Chain A
Amino acid sequence: MSDVSTTGHWDQFMEGIWRQNPVFVMVLGMCPTLAVTVSAVNAISMGVATTFVLACSCLLVSMMRNVVPKEVRIATYIVIIATFVTAVDYIIQAISLALYDALGAFIQLIVVNCIILGRAEAHASKNRPAVATYNALGMGVGFTIGLLALGSVREVLGAGTLFGVSLFGANFQPWVIMVLPPGGFFVLGAWLLFFAWHARRKERQLREAGQHA
């Protein structure tokens, strides 16, 4: 296979954060996005865990891209990803059992998170290890930012706290719906709406600038 990307490492890194953000642009990995983002801490932990798995497995996939036969590549990717997920699973369990319980089955489910398999197949298997790692790190950071955007809104409205710090005092009325699955859909929809509005406004500004010039 040939290497596709010629752009710089910084550009590779930034791709996942803004241009191809996994949550807001590609809308990938919705399962953990909606399920674990009831609080900002959960969101960041999930994001960091995913970033670690993503970067490590993309590095390995990229290094093995000329060795693995095409017919068994998906199976190979899954084995690689599952290895790192198992490692993350034990690490989180060792660091904080409370966090491990809060994230539940979604740590193991990183194996089938479509961002990771998608990036391994679409990017890492076609690029040099350094490029693949930068890209994967960017994607992971972008995913974390996306989760954090959802998690902080849901935590502020659903519990009146941010990172566990109370914002409104003891009398805050929690919005129960925000910690329920529909709240996740509503907040995600609101963010997507915001980004679509932003993109449209930018496009219009560019068009107007083009007309004036």
Chain B
Amino acid sequence: MGTVEIRPAPHVRGERTVEKIMLNVVWSLLPICAFYVFQYGVSALASITVVTGACLLTERWLVRTGTQAGNIGDYSATITGLLLALTLPPGFPLWMGAIAGFVAIGLGKGLFGGLGFNVFNPALVGRAFAQAAFPTAIATYTPSFLPGRFTEFIPSSLAWPLMIPADAALWLKAKHLDALAGATPLAKWKFDGVMVGANELVTSLSGHMAVGPSPLLILLCGSYLALRRYLDWRIPMSILGGAAVVAWALFAFNPTHYPNPFFMLFSGGLILGAVYMATDMATSPVTPRGMWLYGGLIGLLTVVIRYYSGLPEGVMYAILIANAATPLIERITQPTPFGKSALAARRGASYPLNPSYISREDAGAVTPKKRILKNKPKRDERRTPTH
């Protein structure tokens, strides 16, 4: 027997590391990416490669300057890149994709201090920037399963840097496809009043439709992660539940004006956002009740933005707003510590242990030093007349 060591919890250390979790997420994303490439061909492959490459290069550059936590080997930038590429249209110009990747890591993560410090989901920050900077290109979708997609690029993806991409609508016309084929199901519903069938939405297998990766596949890969506890099932459940409840209530209120809840759930990026974006560990609440609140907020906001704003899709902004609300949600959903009355807890008790019990240095944490201004002029000097 060795010496007895007295120390605070946690006493049991798991095998789980950041790298392992991230690597598992990457593995679970690969089938989705493969199917996406199968849907859209070489353009999608190029887009995924360039966006992920831009994210990794930015991460490497920022880590090398020594101001950012994490490193390129923890696969978090890979996840950001893959997710960002999946949210962009397949024919998105590659140079814009590279900029979106750079912004995602630089502005979304690096500026906040790196892995674990970011407030917003980096991939969505990149996409929001791209949406604000290039609103036309990001709304230009092309149908999936086009003939010759493995040999021919979508012309818009090969635009010269800083130049306007080629018109995808003209290219589609040359292929004898009508302009409506290039609209996403949500845009079709919002601007043309056309709704696509449930079957096509879930599998994304039917041809000539501008859809993202298949929701069914995302749910499958997501359930693998949830079963292995790499993501918390409460968040996707509450997002989908929240969106379904709101959409169902509106549908019941006026079935001719509002689409059915099923369409709401399976169109656009809601499933991808719910499973992969909103569950980002750094930007979602840690308290179980907070997760329900957070997910419900995202679901509600998504439906509200889709119905009542000028944009066809609202998942991105819903998640970003909920990310911003995460600290507040955590604050109001603190669980009651064992032995404490619920009333006292509600009155503003803090859940973490008394700070004196925790040896922060033991856990490898560094207390930030108080910053002192060096060249602060002394008051006397300023007042004294010099002549």
Contact = CB atoms under 8 A, between A and B. Distances in A.
A186 B111 CA distance: 12
B133 interface: yes
Contact of A176 (B132, B164, B165, B386): B132
Contacts of B132: 176-177, 180, 182
Contacts of B386: 2-4, 6
B343 interface: no
A177 B133 contact: yes
A6 B387 contact: yes
A176 B382 CA distance: 47
B379 to A, nearest CB: 13
B163 interface: yes
Contacts of A177: 129, 132-133
A182 B382 CA distance: 39
B331 to A, nearest CB: 27
A10 interface: no
A168 B387 contact: no
A176 B133 contact: yes
Contacts of B163: 168, 171-173
A132 interface: no
Interface in A118-160: 160
A152 B386 CA distance: 42
Interface string A1-17: 01110100000000000
Contacts of B134: 173, 175-176
Interface in B286-319: none
A210 to B, nearest CB: 15
Interface string B70-108: 000000000000000000000001001000000000010
Contacts of B93: 173
A162 to B, nearest CB: 14
B9 interface: no
Nearest to A158: B133
A4 B382 contact: yes
A81 interface: no
Contact of A171 (B107, B133, B164): B164
For chain B, give the interface size range: 10 to 19
For chain A, give the interface size range: 10 to 19
Nearest to B131: A177
Interface string A177-213: 1101010001000000000000000000000000000
Main secondary structure, interface of B, reads loop
A134 B102 CA distance: 43
A203 B34 CA distance: 49
B93, B132, B165, most chain A CB atoms within 10 A = B132
A173 to B, nearest CB: 5
A168 B133 contact: no
A111 B163 CA distance: 41
Contact of B385 (A2, A171, A175, A176): A2
B162 interface: yes
A169 to B, nearest CB: 8
Nearest to B382: A4
Nearest to A178: B133
Contacts of B160: 171
B135 interface: yes
Contact of A172 (B133, B164, B382): B164
Nearest to A193: B111
Interface in A31-89: none
A173 B165 contact: yes
Contacts of A171: 160, 163-164
Interface string B131-158: 0111101000000000000000000000
Contacts of A178: 133
B97 to A, nearest CB: 13
Nearest to A1: B385
B213 to A, nearest CB: 26
Interface string B342-386: 000000000000000000000000000000000000000010011
A180 B386 CA distance: 48
Nearest to B163: A171
29 contacts: A3-B387, A4-B382, A4-B385, A6-B386, A6-B387, A160-B162, A168-B162, A168-B163, A171-B160, A171-B163, A171-B164, A172-B162, A172-B163, A172-B164, A173-B137, A173-B159, A173-B162, A173-B163, A173-B165, A175-B133, A176-B132, A176-B133, A176-B135, A177-B129, A177-B133, A178-B133, A180-B132, A182-B132, A186-B107
Task: Report, nearest first, the 4 A-B pairs whose CB atoms are least far apart.
Answer: A2-B385, A177-B132, A177-B133, A175-B133
Interface of A: 2-4, 6, 160, 168, 171-173, 175-178, 180, 182, 186
Given A6-B387, A173-B96, 18 more contacts: A2-B385, A2-B386, A3-B386, A3-B387, A4-B382, A4-B385, A6-B386, A160-B162, A168-B162, A171-B160, A172-B163, A173-B163, A175-B133, A176-B132, A176-B134, A177-B133, A180-B132, A186-B107
